[in-house]
Amino acid sequence: MAIFTGAGVALVTPFREDESVNYEKLSELIEEQIKKGTDALIICGTTGEASTLSHEEHVEVIDYAVKAVKGRIPVVAGTGSNCTETAVYLSKEAEKSGADGLLIVTPYYNKATQKGLITHYTMVAESVSLPIIMYNVPGRTGCNILPETAVTLAKNVKNIVGIKEATGNLSQVARLMALADGCIDLYSGNDDQIVPILSLGGKGVISVLSNVAPTQTHDICARFFDGDVEGSRKMQLDAIPLIDALFSEVNPIPVKEAMNLMGMQAGPLRRPLSPMEPQNKERLEKAMKAYGLL
């Protein structure tokens, strides 16, 4: 059974002005997501600025999120690293905290071979009992999980159950699903490709958009699964201008700006991320107003 079906929010990590983690605000954001229908919480991913959290903070944020959710929806913890030993450590800690699953990004910067990816994912998976979603985002990592590699892992490692596909390459995704023949759960890693991914057999999306439009993101998936493909498609297309604005600069710069514009007090970014450029902020505000968020 899939870890979750529908819209999982790749939640931001809110910071105070001194850039410490704002746990009170994190609790509020989690409550709001659950209230508005989000199907799963993905904590400490790219959008959560995990790469700038210390190991101690990383573990604490996951632990706090699990306790705040209280089992109401699945919690998927981002525990990937470009160091296999670090990924193992973070994964073990997330399991101790009670996470429902793990999201493991490909080792970034190292640019592992396909053989190296198989070794990396196998070692991480064998260190825990939690189900694992691989995260394929070569635009950030310089490393692509080929369909054959993903299927090899899913068929040979019992707790590698899914993949978050953020290549943007629908041809690759189609080939993956043809080779997988049902052995792997597919999630869209791009908000502008939710419906196309669902049409190829996807289980849902791990979404940046859901930070500001949780109900709408949930409904895109729910309508599709309910058979209202036309309604789902229309919602997907209606959201495209906002999605484009949310990715006009590197994530999570725009989505944190959007949340702050909405009074959600997500706080500042941690360096090396920098505040949004004025022209892009103007574009974001315009898109948010058109979508009814402001």
- Selected catalytic residue, list 25, 89, 121, 135: 135
Q: Which two tokens stand for residue 76?
A: 């998927």
Q: Indicate if 135 belongs to the active site.
A: yes
Inter-residue contact 31 to 14 (CB < 8 Å): no
Q: Which two tokens stand for residue 128?
A: 């825990």
Give the H or E element holding residue 80. Answer: none
**Nearest alpha carbon to residue 157 among 121, 133, 116:** 121
- Selected catalytic residue, list 25, 89, 121, 164: 164
Across-strand partners of 103? 78, 133
> For 16, phi and psi rounded to 5 degrees?
-80, 175
E strands in the chain: 6-10, 40-43, 75-78, 101-105, 132-136, 160-165, 185-188, 204-207
Residue 211 identity (one-letter amino acid): N
Q: Indicate if 286 belongs to the active site.
A: no
Give yes or no for a cis peptide into 272 (omega within 30° of 0): yes
Say whether 32 sits in a helix, a strand or coil: helix
Query: What residues act catalytically?
Result: 135, 164
